[in-house]
Structure 1
Amino acid sequence: MAFYRQVGSVPRTRHTVFRSATADLLYEELMGEEGFSSDSSLLYHRNIPSALVAARIWDLPDQSLVSNAPLIPRHLKLHDLFTNSEAHASDAVTSRRLLLGNNDVRISYAWVAQTSPLYRNAVGDECVYVESGAAILETVFGSLTVDEGDYAIIPRATTHRWVIPEGSDARLYFIEASSHIGPARQYLSKHGQLLEHAPYCERDLRGPDTPLLVQEQDVEIYIKHRGSGPNGLAGTIHTVPEHPFDVVGWDGCLYPYIFNIKDYMPITGKVHQPPPVHQVFEGNNFVVCNFVPRKVDYHPDSIPVPYYHSNVDSDEIMFYVGGDYEARKGSGIGVGSVSVHPGGHAHGPQPGAIEASLGKEYFDELGVMVDTFRPLDLGEAALASDDGLYASSWTGGRWINEK
């Protein structure tokens, strides 16, 4: 995120000797993107950040994928993936279940009540949407409180953990990139400031504001990284001699931040506006959009629900997180559902939805959409939560089973 932030104590001049109040040397670490050619931050540690005393293999949660074949639209019921007892024993790192993925992005889901181990995604940035509940996102940059409706953007290789308060739980939707994730480029100036016509601005973003210092020895960090496993991923657990939350201060333009979906200012028009006006973030070969409660089209003959459209270049994945989605009425989709509309299949409103929408002035709906520009395959959680009925929802349930 290319606007400058300073937290805690930093030296007046970078790359110079910096000592603590007790005259101990502090260790400077550069976290930077694209080989010193993009956003970065400088962190000042009490201990050597590269110190390591042990390493072992971490068997990642199931990362296997299968093709969406035969090609059909699908309805995934995410709330069926975890029972209450399973959620009570689950955490946001080791318990997330893979829904969909390709080489650019992986989408997972978890319902958790346990604090996670320390974690570092060395493959790409993460965008985590909090469907419900609350948590504390502790990071090497500081702590962030997250609540329902928050997006958490976590830069690649940021050491962090998800702390769930005792007696609480959270439903989390993970969008894991193989690249970096940032605001939509059409909303940014050439220097990286959010422009006046953007649907949100820098004052809507929350970043860490106080160092988080923890003293503990022989601490484990779970690392997801590139390797020869399924999806080209592998896992390792490092044991480090001192807790990584030892940063007394940092400054720069790279850090985790929070944006709440309620702060998004929807762009509307005289007739139906296409999904790009709802974009909030993007990564390499995918975009993230959100559909929020809003006034709808004001042409006297407008059709408020979307027109039928073919995803020529993308798969469209919609996570329904609140309200009543007009275009999907009668399909069985509700809060906690994900619709998978693959490229190559024309989709649009369910039968009767167009007529029912005429004259509507306001949509009370909340959804998080991921559009990918390469096809998505199905993970084990998609296979486990598919209702098996959605493909026939435009024909009243008529379906011919062919051998």
Structure 2
Amino acid sequence: MAYYRRVGDVPPKRHTQHRDEQGALYFEELMGEEGFSSDSSLLYHRGLPSAIVDSAVWEIPDAATTPNHPLKPRHLKLHGLFPKESWGETDVVTGRRLVLGNADVRLSYAVSTVPSPLYRNATGDEAVYVESGQAVVETVFGALQAKQGDYVVLPTSTTHRWIPEGDEPLRAYIIEATGHIHPPKRYLSRFGQFLEHAPYCERDLHGPGEPLTATGTDVEVLVKHRTSRGLAGTRMVYAEHPFDVVGWDGCLYPFTFSVHDFEPITGRVHQPPPVHQVFEGHNFVVCNFVPRKVDYHPLSIPVPYYHSNVDSDEIMFYCGGDYEARKGSGIGQGSISVHPGGHSHGPQPGAYERSIGVEAFDELAVMVDTFRPLELGEGGVACEDPAYAWTWAGRRAGGTP
């Protein structure tokens, strides 16, 4: 993201001496992507950012997956994963449950009312969608305010923690990449500025406004990372608090973006899913379906046509409004529909006809399309509605009406 930001106290020239009022040097840290060849930021610490005093194994949440075999569409009810009595016992980091995943992206869900530990995901960027509730997300760059409808985009290896606020539990839908998450290239100029046809722009991205400058010693940070055998976790104990940053500048930092600031693109006839795209990663895209006026051709059919995902799995998370195409399927708030490559899908029976003449849709959904098959995580297996696959035919498994 080539959008420059400067926060706190930084020197006039990079890689030069920067001292406090007593003359002590601050320690400059470059945080950058793709081996010094992509976006980066420079952070200025009071203490050594590399000084650790302990390292031990952390058992990460269950990351095992099960193939979608035999192949079928699925309906996952995420709100059933966290009963109310568990909200004060789990946090958004250690309590998240894997719903779907492959080698490129993992989709998890968490509900919590308690702060998380300090955490760093060294496997890839995270885009966390806040379904409901609100939180302060403290990061090494500063704090972010997150509320319902916000994406919180956290670059790889950003040390942070989640602190829920208010009376409502924080419900978080976590999109975790193996790599980076960024705006689609077609929205950007060759220099990185958002173009006029993009459905959002730099004004809609909200980064930290000031550093936290926290103090402390022997501070534990949970780190998720990769090994030759897959994902692993480590508890690192830092000699000084990682949030001892007095200032930073650059083009790499966490930010929030509200789904309510996404401006929908519509047309006379039904527009294909790429018009809804908000982010992309390696082998996957993220799309927003927001309240909007729909097709205005006099003979238009506003709900989607039936379609086969030849090259991708389509994952829709329903998080607001009334999704017309899925009426009669059992899908509601907090549902995920899994429509895999190799299966033709579309509106539920009756929705095709009912949509004729409709002028607007009041719906809110986050879609992830992947270009490699997704498998079910333990959370996905635990909350599946087994009747969904047969709802188009109006029958149960095995053909019983």
Deviation at 1:164, TM superposition (A): 1.5
Q: Are 1:205 and 2:205 an aligned pair? A: yes
Q: Give distance in 2, aligned partners of 1:388 and 1:401.
A: 14
Find the residue that maps to 2:381 and give its secondary structure.
helix
TM normalised by structure 1 equals 0.98
Deviation at 1:23, TM superposition (A): 1.4
Q: 2:365 aligns with which of 364, 367, 375?
A: 367
1:316-339 Cα distance to aligned partner (Å, 9 max, x none): 000000011010000000110000
Q: Give distance in 1, aligned partners of 2:200 and 2:59.
A: 39
Q: Give distance in 2, aligned partners of 1:347 and 1:131.
A: 26
Cα contact 1:228–1:234 (8 A) shared by 2:
no
Residue in 2 aligned with 1:298? Answer: 296
Residue in 2 aligned with 1:12? Answer: 12
Q: Give distance in 1, aligned partners of 2:221 and 2:144.
A: 19
Q: How does 1:210-249 map to 2 (within 5 A)?
A: 210-229=210-229, 232-249=230-247
Structure 1 residues 120 and 109, CA gap change in structure 2 (3 angstroms)? same
1:85-122 Cα distance to aligned partner (Å, 9 max, x none): 11121101100000000000000000011100000000
Q: Give distance in 2, aligned partners of 1:207 and 1:397.
A: 50
Residue in 1 aligned with 2:33? Answer: 33
Q: Are 1:131 and 2:131 an aligned pair? A: yes
Residue in 1 aligned with 2:335? Answer: 337
Q: Are 1:108 and 2:96 an aligned pair? A: no
Q: How does 1:176-215 map to 2 (within 5 A)?
A: 176-215=176-215
Cα contact 2:133–2:166 (8 A) shared by 1:
no
Greater mean deviation of Cα atoms: 199-208 or 162-171 = 162-171
1:242-286 Cα distance to aligned partner (Å, 9 max, x none): 110000000000000110000000000000000000000000000
1:168-202 Cα distance to aligned partner (Å, 9 max, x none): 42000000000100111111111111100100010
Q: Please, which runs of 5 or more residues in structure 1 have no aligned partner?
A: none
Q: Are 1:388 and 2:391 an aligned pair? A: no
Deviation at 1:166, TM superposition (A): 6.4
How many residues end up aligned between the 2 structures? Answer: 400
Q: Please, which runs of 5 or more residues in structure 2 have no aligned partner?
A: none
Cα contact 1:96–1:108 (8 A) shared by 2:
yes
Indicate the percent of aligned positions where both proteins have the same amino acid: 66
Residue in 2 aligned with 1:353? Answer: 351
Deviation at 1:398, TM superposition (A): 3.6
Q: Give distance in 2, aligned partners of 1:53 and 1:168.
A: 38
TM normalised by structure 2 equals 0.98
What amino acid sits opposite 2:50 in the alignment? S
What amino acid sits opposite 2:350 in the alignment? G
Q: Give distance in 1, aligned partners of 2:263 and 2:218.
A: 46
Residue in 2 aligned with 1:57? Answer: 57
Q: Give distance in 1, aligned partners of 2:143 and 2:169.
A: 18
Structure 1 residues 354 and 240, CA gap change in structure 2 (3 angstroms)? same
Cα contact 1:116–1:163 (8 A) shared by 2:
yes
Cα contact 1:76–1:337 (8 A) shared by 2:
yes
Structure 1 residues 151 and 134, CA gap change in structure 2 (3 angstroms)? same
Residue in 1 aligned with 2:311? Answer: 313
Deviation at 1:151, TM superposition (A): 0.4
Q: How does 1:261-280 map to 2 (within 5 A)?
A: 261-280=259-278
Residue in 1 aligned with 2:147? Answer: 147
Find the residue that maps to 1:164 and give its secondary structure.
strand
Q: How does 1:41-80 map to 2 (within 5 A)?
A: 41-80=41-80
1:4-55 Cα distance to aligned partner (Å, 9 max, x none): 0000010111111110122111000000000000000000000000000001
Q: Give distance in 2, aligned partners of 1:202 and 1:397.
A: 49
Cα contact 2:387–2:396 (8 A) shared by 1:
no
Q: Give distance in 1, aligned partners of 2:77 and 2:347.
A: 19
